[in-house]
Amino acid sequence: MSRGTGYEKTKRNANVSDVAKAAEVSVATVSRAFNIPDAVRPEVRKRVLAAASSLGYSPNAAAKALRMQRTNIAGVVIPTLDYAIYARMVNSFQNKLSAAGHMVFVATTGWDNAHIFERVRPLIDRGAEGLLLVGAIEDNDLREYLKDKRLPVVTSYSYQINDTVPSIGFDNYAATAELVDYLIRLGHRRLAMISAPTKGNDRQRARVQAFRDTLAENGIDETDIVLERHQALTNGADAMREIHAQHPEVTAVVCSSDVLAFGALAECKKLGIHVPKDLSITGFDDFDFSALLDPPLTTISVPASEMGERAADALLNALTTSRAIQSVKLETNLVIRKSTSHPPKAAK
Amino acid sequence: MSRGTGYEKTKRNANVSDVAKAAEVSVATVSRAFNIPDAVRPEVRKRVLAAASSLGYSPNAAAKALRMQRTNIAGVVIPTLDYAIYARMVNSFQNKLSAAGHMVFVATTGWDNAHIFERVRPLIDRGAEGLLLVGAIEDNDLREYLKDKRLPVVTSYSYQINDTVPSIGFDNYAATAELVDYLIRLGHRRLAMISAPTKGNDRQRARVQAFRDTLAENGIDETDIVLERHQALTNGADAMREIHAQHPEVTAVVCSSDVLAFGALAECKKLGIHVPKDLSITGFDDFDFSALLDPPLTTISVPASEMGERAADALLNALTTSRAIQSVKLETNLVIRKSTSHPPKAAK
DNA sequence: CTGAAAGCGCTTACAG
DNA sequence: CTGAAAGCGCTTACAG
């Protein structure tokens, strides 16, 4: 069947024995020439390296892993790569790790975080020695499993002060509270929120909670208007339309992401609502395009690549020293741009 | 030193022997119970599976790989994950592969494609059995290496009719030519292009070439205005400012990506240039936000996730059958929106 | 249907 | 400084 144009292996790869033979030494010496160069006479080492290179030899990773009980593989599990903020974190995570000679497996759960354990297990089974996850672990089986394996794990995107699993993230509650507080000080009294789904997502829950608490603290305790929508431009637009139709008194819309905010902004344009004169809109993430929107988006900037880097360092360190990982709290920034202002006079 | 809060392995993982002992069978039977269930008496199989599960056994991937000479790992090498279009492709690629029980290593080269070989080698050395790359392979050493290893490789983003390496991509030249042609038919005679760097990047070169050829074919053969800028919003803005200052006669700017186009669009707003009345602008990629820009962007939509899926299928198939991979040409679409129109009267 | 044994390709005590 | 040998944890002929 096969026309010889395919991928059938013709010659097997060279192995230590081949190199040993070619260099007229033992396999032990070959191994040492690569791994403990100083333990081999320079002249011999040179011979070995030359033989290896002429045979195109490179050590078999599986054999090495089996023997050393060490894979040098890390894993990262995220909702999706198709969202800039995760992609960015993974990008810096993998850059750091690959510079340190580690490989990284990536797995995605989709937006439904419920099945994260199903994604984690194959990663571990296939050799991941450390793990980067997104958000607090809410699955107790997973928690037990990870503890049992004594695997270095760090969660990201939300800083957890009292979790046994170390986290490298920021304070979603505080960041949102600061933002809502800012809106209230501008004079807004009727606010709505467009959030990403809160199910199985502690970050979103923290943001919604901060929204509600901050309103309450300021004596604004009418029924909260909180719409949950999946991260997508069109969902931001739809939610905006709904708010406009059902709650025309609203003067500020807090969006849980720049994506949602961008959708809302675009919808306002269609509806003839002027932002920020008629309505203030805020985002979360500070995507690069957010500064260029019309109007530029007031939002919260988030240390995505820093999380990836720090997580990589933490994992690397844990793998080397076996010492526990310390949680680290990173800062966010409220970036005030032109999509927010005082509410219209009539609404005050 | 270690306070016992770390990650030192206390108990080793269960292995086949442990399970065999617990189930009172041989290791061969344990292996069969997992891999050739029908070759084991149902009753025995049940005993084995129970023992395995109570011991938390899962097969050691390295040992398995060593024995089977098969890792079930694929690799993908892209410029960066921090660019939606690559992230999306990797996302669908990895989803398909993980559904088929494969893991995926991802490596990034940064925008400088020159060092791709350095990224590919570790991937292969660490066990990747198939590879997804971006763009035509321009490094002959890499080409030789890949051929020598007889590794299934597919390149993406540009369809190569006559390459020995199979590609799953689209026709960058034709897509751009169609777009430029459309602008010319609108009446534009003075066009400029903002391209991503063409060095080591056949896709960008094809687009620039199409731009030049199409102008020439239409008798517009003044000096071409082509600016090369790295993919970034601010670079699009800078380039736009430069074009405006040095070539005020230009009535249409063809951008090689939506990112660049978005930057240019934003800059026009600052400069008081009305798009499309004073100037037409086009993008490439059709990002989801491009339809929501003001004005919505005329651009070319590109099958990013389809490339990832197809590549995964192709690799999976090649790994299974050893048959050669067939190149596939995917379609792009010229999406005409409001950022383009006839040139201003005065310019005609 | 089951088991004993070989072997995948490494690294590392151990002995010299 | 070097080599012979053991063993990491699997799977699979081979024999029964």
CB contact under 8 A, A262 and B82: no
Nucleic strand C under 7 Å from the C-beta of B41: yes
Nucleotide nearest to A13 in CA–C1' terms: C9
pLDDT of residue A348: 44
Nucleotide nearest to B32 in CA–C1' terms: D11
Is residue B165 a contact partner of residue B155, using CB atoms and an 8 Å limit?
Answer: yes
The Å distance, CA of B28 to C1' of D16, is 15
Q: What is the pTM of this model?
A: 0.94
Is residue A24 a contact partner of residue A43, using CB atoms and an 8 Å limit?
Answer: no
Only one residue has tokens 């050799």, namely A127
pLDDT of residue A2: 38
Peptide bond into A295 cis (omega under 30): yes
pLDDT of residue A115: 85
CB contact under 8 A, A7 and B104: no
Nearest C-alpha of chain B: how many angstroms from A254? 19
The Å distance, CA of A18 to C1' of C7, is 16
pLDDT of residue B113: 74
Residue B233, chain A, CB below 8 Å: the answer is yes
pLDDT of residue A227: 98
Residue B345, chain A, CB below 8 Å: the answer is no
Contacts of B323 in chain A (CB under 8 A): 1-3, 5-7
Residue B6, chain A, CB below 8 Å: the answer is yes
pLDDT of residue A330: 98
The pLDDT tens digits of the residues spanning A101-156 come to: 999 999 999 877 778 999 999 999 999 999 999 999 999 999 999 999 999 999 99
E strand or H helix at B315 = helix B304-321
Phi then psi dihedrals of residue A140, to 5 deg: -70, -30
pLDDT of residue A5: 60
The pLDDT tens digits of the residues spanning A295-308 come to: 999 999 999 999 99
How far apart are alpha carbons B30 and B36 in whole angstroms? Answer: 10
Residue B87, chain A, CB below 8 Å: the answer is yes
Q: Where are the beta strands (DSSP E) in chain B?
A: 73-78, 103-108, 130-134, 153-156, 167-170, 191-195, 225-228, 252-255, 280-282, 299-301, 328-330, 333-335
Phi then psi dihedrals of residue B75, to 5 deg: -125, 150
**Which residue places its CA closest to the C1' of nucleotide D5?**
A28
The radius of gyration of chain B from alpha carbons, rounded to an integer in Å, stands at 27
The radius of gyration of chain A from alpha carbons, rounded to an integer in Å, stands at 27
Nucleotide nearest to B36 in CA–C1' terms: D11
Nucleotide nearest to A27 in CA–C1' terms: D3
Q: Of A67, A57, A39, A285, whose CA–CA distance to A179 is shortest?
A: A285
Residues 6+ apart with CB under 8 A from A238: A229, A263, A267
- Looking only at the bridges linking them, the beta strands covering A191-195 and A225-228 are parallel
Q: Whose CB is within 7 A of strand D?
A: A 24-29, 32, 38-41, 44-45, 63, 66-67, 69; B 12-13, 15-17, 27-28, 30-32, 34-36, 57, 59-60, 63-64, 66-68
Residue B232, chain A, CB below 8 Å: the answer is yes
Stretches in chain B below the pLDDT threshold 70: 1-5, 346-348
Nearest C-alpha of chain A: how many angstroms from B127? 7
A236 by DSSP, 3-state: which? helix
How far apart are alpha carbons A212 and A63 in whole angstroms? Answer: 56
* Buried residues in A293-323 as b, exposed as e (16+ CB within 10 A): bbbbbbbbbbbbbbbbbbbbbbbbebbeebb
Is residue A303 a contact partner of residue A332, using CB atoms and an 8 Å limit?
Answer: yes
CB–CB contacts below 8 A, A to B: 168
Is residue B151 a contact partner of residue B129, using CB atoms and an 8 Å limit?
Answer: yes
Is residue A195 a contact partner of residue A207, using CB atoms and an 8 Å limit?
Answer: yes
Q: What is the mean pLDDT of residues A165-184?
A: 98
The pLDDT tens digits of the residues spanning A256-303 come to: 999 999 999 999 999 999 999 999 999 999 999 999 999 999 999 999
- Contact map slice: A 276-315 vs B, CB within 8 A: 288-289, 292, 294, 305
The Å distance, CA of B226 to C1' of C6, is 66
Q: What is the DSSP string of B12-79?
A: PPP-HHHHHHHHTS-HHHHHHHHH-GGGS-HHHHHHHHHHHHHHT----HHHHHHHHT---EEEEEES
Is residue A282 a contact partner of residue A297, using CB atoms and an 8 Å limit?
Answer: yes
Question: Residue B194 corresponds to which tokens in the numbers above?
Answer: 């903002």
Give the pLDDT band of residue A346 (cuts 50, 70, 90): low
Question: Residue A9 corresponds to which tokens in the numbers above?
Answer: 């292996």
Question: Residue A129 corresponds to which tokens in the numbers above?
Answer: 């020695």
Contacts of B148 in chain A (CB under 8 A): 56
Percent of chain A with pLDDT over 70: 98
CB contact under 8 A, A7 and B71: no
How far apart are alpha carbons B253 and B266 in whole angstroms? Answer: 13
Residue B166, chain A, CB below 8 Å: the answer is no
Q: Where are the beta strands (DSSP E) in B103-187?
A: 103-108, 130-134, 153-156, 167-170
Contacts of B61 in chain A (CB under 8 A): 62, 125-127
Expressed in angstroms, the distance from the first to the final Cα of chain B is 79
Distance of CA B218 to the CA centre of its chain: 33
Residue B321, chain A, CB below 8 Å: the answer is yes
- Contact map slice: A 125-164 vs B, CB within 8 A: 125-127, 148, 150-152
Is residue B141 a contact partner of residue B117, using CB atoms and an 8 Å limit?
Answer: yes
The pLDDT tens digits of the residues spanning A225-252 come to: 999 999 999 999 999 999 999 999 999 9
The Å distance, CA of B26 to C1' of D16, is 15
B310 by DSSP, 3-state: which? helix
**Which of A7, A326, A339 is best to mutate for the B interface (most B CBs within 10 A)?**
A7
Question: Residue B114 corresponds to which tokens in the numbers above?
Answer: 């020159």
Is residue A339 a contact partner of residue A291, using CB atoms and an 8 Å limit?
Answer: no
CB contact under 8 A, B62 and A56: no
CB contact under 8 A, B7 and A152: yes
pLDDT of residue B11: 81
A67 by DSSP, 3-state: which? helix
**Which residue places its CA closest to the C1' of nucleotide C3?**
B26
Residues 6+ apart with CB under 8 A from A177: A210, A213, A214
CB contact under 8 A, B71 and A62: yes
* Buried residues in B300-339 as b, exposed as e (16+ CB within 10 A): bbbbbbbbbbbbbbbbbebbeebbbbebbebebebbbbeb
pLDDT of residue A251: 97
E strand or H helix at B118 = helix B116-125
